[in-house]
Amino acid sequence: IIENIQLLHECKHDRDEHLRQVLVEAQTDNSIDPVLIPNYYEEDQNTEEDDPEQLLQMLSIVNESTTNAYSASNGNQEQRYLNDALQAIDNTDRPEKRMEPK
């Protein structure tokens, strides 16, 4: 048993020493391996500032398409109102009123 404990301590010491070496190498070597860099590196096409008008137009299109999808999925306006009202009631977390028989 004592030999196994000694062997375990030696392995632990070797593992700790190896970990220290790996950490030291990682801290001193900050270069990126050229194999990891693609040959066709391209610049970002969005380097210029985006046009605010163009962004607003894109948001408007998204809003319109979302509204149209919502309208199409819920049918007519009365049905949407009813669904929204029922959803609001469900979200209130109020205890339900129980009517007792007379």
pLDDT tens for 68-87 read 766 666 567 777 777 788 88
Please give the helix or strand (H or E) that residue 83 lies within, else none: helix 77-90
More confident residue, 26 or 62: 62
Average pLDDT estimate for 26-48: 63
pLDDT of residue 10 exceeding 70: yes
More confident residue, 90 or 37: 90
State the pLDDT confidence band at 40, using cuts at 50, 70 and 90: low
All structural domains of the chain with their residue ranges: 2-29+53-89
Tell me, what's the pLDDT at 11? Answer: 84
- Which of 11-15, 23-27, 35-39, 88-92 shows the lowest per-residue confidence on average (mean pLDDT)? 35-39
More confident residue, 66 or 100: 66
Is the Cβ–Cβ distance between 15 and 22 less than 8 Å?
no
* Alpha-carbon distances, residue 15 vs 18, 19, 55, 59, 70 (angstroms): 5, 6, 55, 56, 60
* Alpha-carbon distances, residue 12 vs 4, 9, 23 (angstroms): 12, 5, 16
- Quote the pTM value: 0.27
